[in-house]
A and B are shown apart, each in its own frame.
Chain A
Amino acid sequence: MIELEIDGQKVTVPEGTTLMEAAATLGISTPTLCWAPNLDPATACRVCVVEVEGSRVLVPACGRKAEAGMVVRTNSDRVRTSRKMVLELLGSSVDLSAAEQVKPWMASLGADPSRMGPAAPPSAAGERDAARAGHHHATDGATAATVCQPIKVDNELYVRDYGKCILCYKCVDACGEQAQASFAIAVAGRGFDARISTELDKPLTDSACVYCGNCIGVCPTGALQPVTEHELRQEGAWEPERQTQTDTICPYCGVGCTLTLHVQDDRIVKVTSPHDASVTGGHLCIKGRFGTRFVAPRGS
């Protein structure tokens, strides 16, 4: 066991516990975007940073392991400034409208993305995918650059709205080594032009994608959405507060994955799996994720 101090309180945790988990035992919650319970920490978004005495810089609470004698502050001026700035930088460059969890953090930290300036016009389709590493057009500073761009719709099951992408790496990890092992997508490009991409930016239908939807399951911002959800949102008819969630077992094969059916108006509008389900770890295959039409009323 390891003893450390967080916000003035002593806490004892097992070896290997992260600072975020240690803080949680004291009832201190930590904002996270790139962390997921069923993936290794990418420690990329930095919204979870905390101050550790003796450390020159802040450390990511989601990935940093507790060490004996650490003195941690989760609410100092430095921590609040960095968290607020991370949210302002994201808020000013990415469409966070479908990232509901961010709103209360923004409010409590007083984040104001608009002080970065008016948003620059969105990029044309394919423009960000063609960016050359190490080269960009000079700016006059009059507008704030964003990643906004047209939605990619290239298959019947899900859409990729990379104007909402915060580059958290979760979809890449879920598609690759940590879950699906399809390796259909990766981060391409560099710096602000970095983006999630298939090889040569090919449509998903020409890629290694098997439509398991595990990338959708981990995406924290709604950048990846099942077509059903996307269409309902476009119509203004996506109403989570009216949806019920029912756990059941997938009927297709003998593995027995837990499915959570999101139902709105007697229609299954989305299928997820709990990240703590022992069989799935939150991950499914194409049948469980998308193969629900046979339950729908004929003709719908």
Chain B
Amino acid sequence: MDLRHLDTEPSREEREAVDAVIGEGETLATVPLREARRLRAHLLPALHALQDRVGRITEGGLGYVCRRLHVPPAEAWGVVTFYALFNVDEERPTTVAHVCDDVACRLAGAERICGELAGTLGPEGKAVKGRGWMRSPCLGLCDQAPAALLVVPGAPPTEVLWGGVDAPSVAEAVRSGTAPERGGVQPLQPREALHLLRRVGQVDPTDIDAWRRSGGGAGLRRALELGPAEVIALVGRSGLVGRGGAAFPTARKWEAVARQPARPHHLVCNADESEPGTFKDRVLMEQDPYTVVEGVAIAAFAVGSELARIYVRDEYPLARQRLQHAIDTLRQRGWLGDDVLGRGVKLDVELVRGAGAYICGEETALLNSMEGLRGEPRQKPPFPSDSGLFGQPTAINNVETLANVPLILTEGPEAWAARGVPGSAGTRLFCLAGHVRRPGVVEVGMGTTLREVIALGGGTPSGRPVRAVLLGGAAGGFVTADQLDVPLTFEDTRRIGATMGSGVVLVLDDSADIADLLRRITAFFRDESCGQCVPCRVGTVRMEEWVARRSSGGSADPALLDDLGAVLRDASICGLGQTAASAVQSAVRLGLLGGGR
């Protein structure tokens, strides 16, 4: 490709930051297309380097990255402006607190905090001497709501996700450039009840020896003994299905990749966790990172991939740090590398950073993002098992899905499955938050009722009755107080028109302003739509307008909502659009907006 480039120069620190991740080097005049595609995968890391160092992607920095990586400047601009955490805007603060104003944090007073910050730090998104604050969609810290993410550029940059914030503490963090580290977590349940969460609060997540003493690594060792085909067979017998929302049988996905003649195969762990109200994967990655990496390694071994990748949302700095530490120490000890445990197997794991886009959790958008493209979903077919990352056969799995795999191999598939019920095997993590006394991640056998799960949170803080639960996240729907005895299985939730989705259980007492939540949810989908297809790009805007009219007592045509729901569900390219109307439609159906249907 012969490209016309920007002729602007980077500053010395911008050049250093970029060179540190892609190496120093000369810019070649042209490169073959294949090479260009390989270079392109470095685009996001290079942009992160700029953003980390100076808090902005300047024209000089962008021009340099484009020349080094042979990316057309217009395309790079398309990528930069796709991701919410890349800043191209002179007015936007570089030292910034991203303040969550999403569903759980709203219930904990986020709007009040934003109002106060506008007074103390100035208007949202406007820098005052480079500093300021911005609103953010769900930061995945709903158990410690309200939450904020502090980002300060530098070498190295400061990134802290912390909870229990109020306006003065956010303002202080922005002024000082520091925020308190979070303490450890204690599970809500007794040790005997925990399997996937058994190490949380018990085993130091940064100590490989402690992890080994607690039985860590036995799953990978067993996998290497069994061989890929037997691992897939065992996982198949367990009945494990994906925990990322779509509930697809994991072994079937692996088998579809393993049998492909094309090489290499890829395994990608989806740690983009951005569904509002979801934080279970964060807890696993922060509190038991070794087991997550172990599960990823086993999956890679099973599908025939030598290099697995974990795509972690950028809003999870601690999770990234802990995973990287786990990967590094596992490699030092020979659990990863060119000759794993001396068995002649090559297996490694690498982290990839997201940049602020919920849609990148959709598996094909995630692949595009890893290739250095805009995070736009691909039309399926082809499915990733046929043509995934760089066009190669690829399996994509959720963090919780993979964290279960070591357990399945060590306990045996039957024992693992028996904690659930037929058709919904094993245990499942739920993200309990909202109006509960003790929010947090809980682990229960599938088939446990929603009422029992909520009870683990110790009731509503106000003592007021539960009115509804947002089950499954913004892409899920509402469940009313009279439906709380629904057993949490795929079938039973489907029967009442609900979904477990990503395991969100956001409890709402009878004081909750459901119209306000719906306004936030519809704004979320409008913000997070990739914009590729008409039903979702425009439909999410019309949904937001519909809810705004309806909640302010204006006229909102029910037939229009039906039609919007239909086109979103039926004609959108991906799951974002397909589920974007479900929360609103369920609220209307259940009469939660008042005024009946």
Partner of B570, one of A57, A116, A133, A183: A57
Query: A115 to chain B: which residues have CB within 8 Å?
Result: 557, 560
Look across to chain A and name the residue whose beta carbon is closest to the beta carbon of B374.
Answer: A187
Query: B544 to chain A: which residues have CB within 8 Å?
Result: 139, 141
A136 near B77: Cβ-Cβ < 8 Å: no
Q: State which of B413-421, B454-462, B484-492, B531-539 sits at the interface with chain A.
A: B531-539
B534 near A135: Cβ-Cβ < 8 Å: no
Query: A63 to chain B: which residues have CB within 8 Å?
Result: 379
In the bound complex, what is the Cα–Cα distance between A47 and B534 (angstroms)? Answer: 9
Question: Nearest Cβ in chain A — how far from B238, in angstroms?
Answer: 26
Write the A187-228 contact mask toward B (1 if CB under 8 angstroms, else 0).
111111110011110000001100000000000000000000
A133 near B82: Cβ-Cβ < 8 Å: yes
In the bound complex, what is the Cα–Cα distance between A283 and B420 (angstroms)? Answer: 60
A190 near B531: Cβ-Cβ < 8 Å: yes
Query: B6 to chain A: which residues have CB within 8 Å?
Result: 199
Query: B438 to chain A: which residues have CB within 8 Å?
Result: none
B89 near A132: Cβ-Cβ < 8 Å: yes
In the bound complex, what is the Cα–Cα distance between A145 and B83 (angstroms)? Answer: 22
Query: B134 to chain A: which residues have CB within 8 Å?
Result: 135
Partner of A136, one of B89, B526, B539: B526
Partner of A138, one of B523, B528, B557: B523
A255 at the interface (CB under 8 A from B): no
Number of residues of chain B lying within 8 A (CB) of chain A: 70
B78 near A187: Cβ-Cβ < 8 Å: yes
Question: Nearest Cβ in chain B — how far from A118, in angstroms?
Answer: 11
B125 near A199: Cβ-Cβ < 8 Å: no
B135 near A93: Cβ-Cβ < 8 Å: no
Known contacts A46-B533, A90-B534; is-contact A141 B549 (Cβ 8 Å): yes
Partner of B72, one of A57, A84, A92, A208: A208
B75-96 interface with A by 8 A CB criterion:
75-78, 81-84, 86, 88-89, 92
A190 near B535: Cβ-Cβ < 8 Å: no
Question: Nearest Cβ in chain B — how far from A46, in angstroms?
Answer: 4
Known contacts A57-B578, A197-B78; is-contact A141 B545 (Cβ 8 Å): yes
Question: Nearest Cβ in chain A — how far from B66, in angstroms?
Answer: 8
A187 near B531: Cβ-Cβ < 8 Å: yes
Known contacts A136-B527, A192-B529; is-contact A145 B541 (Cβ 8 Å): yes
In the bound complex, what is the Cα–Cα distance between A166 and B557 (angstroms)? Answer: 25
A134 near B531: Cβ-Cβ < 8 Å: no
B569 near A57: Cβ-Cβ < 8 Å: yes
Question: Nearest Cβ in chain A — how far from B60, in angstroms?
Answer: 11
In the bound complex, what is the Cα–Cα distance between A208 and B539 (angstroms)? Answer: 34
A133 near B356: Cβ-Cβ < 8 Å: yes
A82 near B538: Cβ-Cβ < 8 Å: no
Report whether over half of chain A's contact residues are helix, strand or loop; otherwise say mixed: loop
Query: B89 to chain A: which residues have CB within 8 Å?
Result: 130, 132
B563 at the interface (CB under 8 A from A): yes
Query: B523 to chain A: which residues have CB within 8 Å?
Result: 136, 138
Look across to chain B and name the residue whose beta carbon is closest to the beta carbon of A208.
Answer: B4
Known contacts A78-B570, A135-B134, A145-B541; is-contact A199 B356 (Cβ 8 Å): no
B77 near A49: Cβ-Cβ < 8 Å: no
In the bound complex, what is the Cα–Cα distance between A198 and B538 (angstroms)? Answer: 23
Known contacts A60-B379, A130-B89, A183-B74; is-contact A190 B357 (Cβ 8 Å): yes
Query: B3 to chain A: which residues have CB within 8 Å?
Result: 183, 208
B553-574 interface with A by 8 A CB criterion:
554, 556-557, 560, 563-564, 566-567, 569-573
Question: Nearest Cβ in chain A — how far from B355, in angstroms?
Answer: 9
Known contacts A185-B74, A197-B78; is-contact A57 B535 (Cβ 8 Å): no
In the bound complex, what is the Cα–Cα distance between A92 and B541 (angstroms)? Answer: 11
B546 at the interface (CB under 8 A from A): yes
Partner of B531, one of A47, A116, A189, A207: A189
Question: Nearest Cβ in chain A — how far from B404, in angstroms?
Answer: 26
B552 near A199: Cβ-Cβ < 8 Å: no
Known contacts A81-B563, A191-B530; is-contact A134 B137 (Cβ 8 Å): yes
Look across to chain B and name the residue whose beta carbon is closest to the beta carbon of A183.
Answer: B72
A259 at the interface (CB under 8 A from B): no
Known contacts A78-B566, A190-B357, A193-B531; is-contact A43 B541 (Cβ 8 Å): no
B59 at the interface (CB under 8 A from A): yes
B1 at the interface (CB under 8 A from A): yes
A263 at the interface (CB under 8 A from B): no
A82 near B74: Cβ-Cβ < 8 Å: no
A200 near B531: Cβ-Cβ < 8 Å: no
A197 near B74: Cβ-Cβ < 8 Å: yes
B541 near A93: Cβ-Cβ < 8 Å: yes
A45 at the interface (CB under 8 A from B): yes
A51-104 interface with B by 8 A CB criterion:
57-58, 60, 63, 78, 81-82, 84-86, 88-90, 92-93
Known contacts A141-B549, A183-B72, A190-B530; is-contact A82 B557 (Cβ 8 Å): no
A2 at the interface (CB under 8 A from B): no
Partner of A58, one of B2, B74, B571: B571
A133 near B546: Cβ-Cβ < 8 Å: no
In the bound complex, what is the Cα–Cα distance between A183 and B36 (angstroms)? Answer: 14
A85 near B571: Cβ-Cβ < 8 Å: yes
Known contacts A45-B534, A60-B379, A207-B74; is-contact A85 B573 (Cβ 8 Å): no
Query: A43 to chain B: which residues have CB within 8 Å?
Result: 379, 533, 573
A191 near B531: Cβ-Cβ < 8 Å: yes
In the bound complex, what is the Cα–Cα distance between A197 and B535 (angstroms)? Answer: 22
B42 at the interface (CB under 8 A from A): no
A181 at the interface (CB under 8 A from B): yes
A167 near B537: Cβ-Cβ < 8 Å: yes
A142 at the interface (CB under 8 A from B): yes
In the bound complex, what is the Cα–Cα distance between A176 and B4 (angstroms)? Answer: 12
Known contacts A135-B125, A136-B526, A208-B3; is-contact A89 B74 (Cβ 8 Å): no
B540 near A191: Cβ-Cβ < 8 Å: yes
Query: B135 to chain A: which residues have CB within 8 Å?
Result: 135
A39 at the interface (CB under 8 A from B): no
Query: A182 to chain B: which residues have CB within 8 Å?
Result: 4
B547 at the interface (CB under 8 A from A): yes
Write the A121-158 contact mask toward B (1 if CB under 8 angstroms, else 0).
00000000010111110111111110000000000000
Look across to chain B and name the residue whose beta carbon is closest to the beta carbon of A51.
Answer: B570
In the bound complex, what is the Cα–Cα distance between A145 and B544 (angstroms)? Answer: 10
B503 at the interface (CB under 8 A from A): no
Look across to chain A and name the residue whose beta carbon is closest to the beta carbon of B8.
Answer: A200
Query: B198 to chain A: which residues have CB within 8 Å?
Result: none
Question: Nearest Cβ in chain A — how far from B568, in angstroms?
Answer: 9
In the bound complex, what is the Cα–Cα distance between A85 and B568 (angstroms)? Answer: 9
In the bound complex, what is the Cα–Cα distance between A200 and B62 (angstroms)? Answer: 10
B322 at the interface (CB under 8 A from A): no
B276 at the interface (CB under 8 A from A): no
B535 near A135: Cβ-Cβ < 8 Å: no
Query: A167 to chain B: which residues have CB within 8 Å?
Result: 531-532, 537
A44 near B526: Cβ-Cβ < 8 Å: no
B566 near A82: Cβ-Cβ < 8 Å: yes
Question: Nearest Cβ in chain B — how far from A178, in angstroms?
Answer: 13
B552 near A85: Cβ-Cβ < 8 Å: no
A184 at the interface (CB under 8 A from B): yes
Look across to chain A and name the residue whose beta carbon is closest to the beta carbon of B529.
Answer: A191
Partner of B535, one of A85, A185, A188, A193: A85
4 nearest CB pairs, A to B = A194-B531, A141-B548, A183-B72, A134-B84
Q: Which residues of A are interface residues toward B (Cβ below 8 A)? A: 43-47, 49, 57-58, 60, 63, 78, 81-82, 84-86, 88-90, 92-93, 115-117, 130, 132-136, 138-145, 166-167, 176, 181-194, 197-200, 207-208
Given contacts A82-B571, A93-B541, A132-B89, list 6 more A-B pairs with CB under 8 A: A57-B570, A85-B539, A116-B560, A138-B523, A190-B82, A194-B537
Can you report 14 A-B residue pairs in the complex whose CB atoms are below 8 A from each other?
Answer: A44-B532, A46-B535, A57-B578, A81-B566, A86-B534, A141-B549, A141-B550, A144-B542, A167-B531, A186-B78, A187-B374, A188-B81, A192-B529, A199-B62
Q: Which residues of B are interface residues toward A (Cβ below 8 A)? A: 1-4, 6, 59, 62, 72-78, 81-84, 86, 88-89, 92, 125, 134-135, 137, 356-357, 374, 379, 519, 523, 526-535, 537-542, 544-550, 552, 554, 556-557, 560, 563-564, 566-567, 569-573, 578
